[in-house]
Structures are given as C-alpha cells and as structure tokens.
Amino acid sequence: MTDASACAATHDGRSAPPLPPDADARRLASLGYTSEFRRDMSPWANFSLGFTYLSPVVGVYTLFAASLATAGPPMIWSFLVAGVGQLLVALVFGEVVAQYPVAGGVYPWSRRLWGRKWGWMTGWVYLVALMSTIAAVSYGAGPYVAALLGVEPSTATTVWCALGLLLLATVVNLGGTKVLSAAAVFGFTAELLGALAVGGWLLVTHRHHGLGVVLDRFGAAEGGSYTDAFLAAGLIAVFLYFGFEACGDVAEEVPDPGRQIPRAMRRTIYVGGSAAIGVSLALVTAIPDIGAVVSGAETDPVAAVLHDAFGATGARVVIGVVLLSFLSCVLSLQAAASRLTYSFARDRMIVGSRLLATVSDRLRVPPYALLLAAALPGVIIVSASALSGGALTKIISFSSIGIYLAFQMVVLAALRARLRGWRPDGEYRLGRWGLPVTIGALVYGVAAIVTICWGRTPDAAWYDNYLVLLTAVVVLATGGLYLVAARPHLRGDAPSGDALAGSPAAD
C-alpha cells in the first residue's frame, strides 16, 4: 500500500480538510478529556520524534556486530521482513489513533477498543518495556561515549556514561514540548545526514565487496541451522522497527492529529527502514574480512571500519554524530514513556496518580512522569550490568518482546472490535483492507514474539537460556496479580470499551 493510497479520507473517498485548532479541542472533549498540553508540535516534529525513537543509527550500531557474527551479511534481509510486518502494525495504529487522538498511545487505544482490564494490562506491559528500552539505548551508547572521551571501555565506564546520557536527556525533556520538538528535528536532521554521509563515503571509497555479498554467509552457522541463525540475527531488525507509535503518544500536542499522526507513522517506517538498510549495507561492504567477524576474531568491526575510513579524528566526529542519535533516541523514548505514565495517572490507573498526572503550568510537560522515566531506566542499567553477563543483549531482548507484546495487544483488540462490528470513523481509514491488514499484523507480531523468546544458548543454564521469556512471564504475572488484588481498572470514570456502540463501559 502506498502512502498516497493510504492517506486519510472521508467516507466518499476525498481527502479530509485540515481541522481548526478549536476542532481538535472539541474532538478531545467528545472523547472525555480536556488537554493540559499545548499543540506546539508540528507534523514535521512529530515525524522526527518517531524517526529518532526508531533511530536507524542506534539500532544498527548497537547490534550490527552481533548480528553479522551470527548470520553473516544475509542478516540484512531481516530488515525487509520486519519492515513489512511493522508497516502493517503502523497502518492499524493509524486507524486507531485517528479515532482516538489521546495522549498515551497503546493504553488508551486498548482501553477504548476492548475495555478497562485489557487497557490496563496493555499499558502496564508497554510501560515496563519502555523503561527497559530507555535503559537499553542508554547502555548501548556507553561505549561510544567512552570512545569519544578517550576512556578505556569497561562495564563501570559504560554504566556511568549511560547514566550521564540519561541525565542529559531528562534535562532537555524538562524544557517543554517546543524544546523536545526542536531537539527531535535537529536529531533527525543530524542522524539522516550523518547516515547518508558515512554510508555514501564508505560505499564510494572503502567498498571491499560487491552487493552480492548479502547472499554470502561466510561460514555463519556452519554445522547448524542457518534458519535459526538468521532468526537470531534478526533481533537487529526487530529492535529497530518500533518508534512509530511515539507519534501517537503525543497526540494531544499535535494539531490535526487524526490526519497528521498516521502519516508520520508510515513515514517513520519508510525513511527509518531505508536509512537502516543503507547504513548496514555500507558497513558490510566496507569490512575487509567478514569471515573474521563471523569466526569471532574481530569483535568490533564498526569501530575498525570507521577508523580505517576516516582516521582517528574523523572517526571521533562520526562517533559524535552517532551519540547525537543515541541522545535523540533517549529523548523520544522518555517523551513516550512520560506521556504513557501521565495518561495512566490521569485515569487514576497507577500508584502516585496525583503526582504523576501533574503538568507544569509553565512548560506544559508532566515533570514527575519524566523523572520516573529517568529513575527506573537508571535502576535497570545498574542492576542488569551487575547481575548478568551480556547485559545489553538481555535488556534489548526483553525491551523488544515487551513492546511487541503491547503492540499485539492493541492489534488483537482492534481485530476483536472489527469482527464485532467496529468501523473506524477517524480521518484515516483502511476501508476494505482493514481486516486483512489487521490479521497480517497479528500474524507477524506473534511470529516475532516467538522468535525473540526462543532459547538459543543450550549450553547455558535453563533460566539464562530462557531469561527473556521468564522476564516477560514475570511482568505479565505481576501485572495480572496487581490487577486482581488492587483492581486499579475500576478507579476513575474515563471512557472504555466504546469502540462498539452499546458495549459495556466497564469490564
């Protein structure tokens, strides 16, 4: 489906006209809310927020070496598989956010499509996963901060650098929506131009292989199942293709959100995915000895390529651009997590609701929700580095499965509602494509979750081999027990389950 064919339309197929600002307020009031935010985020900034959250540079530079060592250059094809799958999810989300342009994203969407319990569990899973993702990106930036500062990389320096980056992102986010918008646009521009410049330079001046290299395994998975190796290496693509939902998390800060946000979501997938594939292809063709990476003799091919191509000074400049991408990504993640926390708290669904639902009169951001989105990731960074070897991969794996679980809870809710007669009435609709797209999104998401959970280290202890699955079960069980014991879903009177006319409001 092309961007043009998927654009927002009215029932007679014509493009919907832009809504005036007062119409946005009336639309939100009809959904049961009065916003405390300012609609200071332009469509361009909204797209930039999703792009920097998805961040092709962060996704590629964090897991490129591990994925290449696991499956060789064909791991690049996983970007196409995950990109198509997540585009289907983005199309489903576009319909939902157009009908429910409310801050918080997946929580209010699930609540309106299914009901209070389902909405609460979706929000719980997504909130935990977001906090873990913030920790993963901050931790992944640690070695690059150390390299830029000329500090010997170690677990301790990585942790301190990660915490410093987290603190800086929090300070910027506390500046307000305009500051966040400016930072997102700047981050997008720097990341895209940096990716194009680095990728172009490597392809033109330091290409050691032809494009056919993407079909050569270089001995990867020799003596074992290559399919299993390819799926394991696909974590790089699975980790990359979320971020588009952040465009909807700030729906109350964007003018005409029903038209602008679905468009920003799709563009995030198109542009971010293309940039990630380009960067990966440039790096693969620039590595002189891919076999050494696959065998484990070369453990940091990215740093080696950058040093060879740009020299010591040039490599530091490139690393500086990479760090801007990491910072922009953490900024966007924190913004999404704080808006979800605020949305949860506004409906009195979380402990400390009164404080977490507070919005600064001057800056119009939820400061306590933002501080929570700094404190919890900081705890995860310190704990994971102390308790587990391979902390980064473990954090990323759980982050991915948590976000994919939350996504599929929304998709399943949309499918259930559609099968029961829901017909989206927002500015963006899939029409007759709605049912097959939703089914396709669900099939892809379930397959991705199984792939992430699958234990692939049989020599490790069973609890380490299935740590990602066990962690996901613990998060679900904890949320379920709290839901049964404390019954948070019965607090407040926010609308729920109203996608279907006549459906029960409180389940």
Q: Cα–Cα distance between 254 and 433 in angstroms, integer?
A: 27
Q: CB–CB of 84/285 below 8 Å?
A: no
Phi, psi of 9 (to 5 degrees): -145, 155
Q: How many domains does the chain have?
A: 1
Phi, psi of 225 (to 5 degrees): -85, 120
Q: Is residue 477 in a domain? A: no
Q: Is residue 369 in a domain? A: yes
Q: How far is CA 263 from the centre of its chain?
A: 17
Q: Is residue 488 in a domain? A: no
Q: Which two tokens stand for residue 84?
A: 């198509």
Q: Is residue 476 in a domain? A: no
Whole-number pLDDT of residue 501: 62
Q: Is residue 46 in a domain? A: yes
Is the torsion defined by CA of 356, 357, 361, 365 positive or negative?
A: positive
Phi, psi of 274 (to 5 degrees): -65, -40
Q: How far is CA 35 from the centre of its chain?
A: 25
Whole-number pLDDT of residue 393: 64
- Candidates 458, 31, 455; CA nearest to 231 is 455
Domain containing residue 429: CATH number: 1.20.1740.10
- Candidates 93, 156, 114, 6; CA nearest to 422 is 114
Q: Is residue 497 in a domain? A: no
Torsion of CA 480, 82, 411, 51, to 10 degrees: 90
Q: CB–CB of 62/140 below 8 Å?
A: yes
- Give the count of alpha carbons within 13 A of 456, CB side only: 21
Q: Is residue 459 in a domain? A: yes
Q: Is residue 504 in a domain? A: no
Q: What is the mean pLDDT of each run of 10 residues along the chain (507 residues)?
A: 38 43 83 86 92 84 89 95 95 96 93 93 92 87 79 80 91 91 91 89 92 92 87 87 89 92 95 92 94 90 88 85 87 92 90 90 89 93 68 68 91 95 92 95 93 76 77 89 90 84 48
Domain residues for the domain of 171 are 21-469
Q: Which two tokens stand for residue 375?
A: 């404190």
Running DSSP on this structure, what letter comes out for residue 209?
S
174: Cβ contacts below 8 Å, ≥ 6 apart = 363, 365, 367, 370
Please compute Rg for the chain using Cα positions: 22
Q: Which amino acid is at 439?
A: I
N residues, the chain? 507
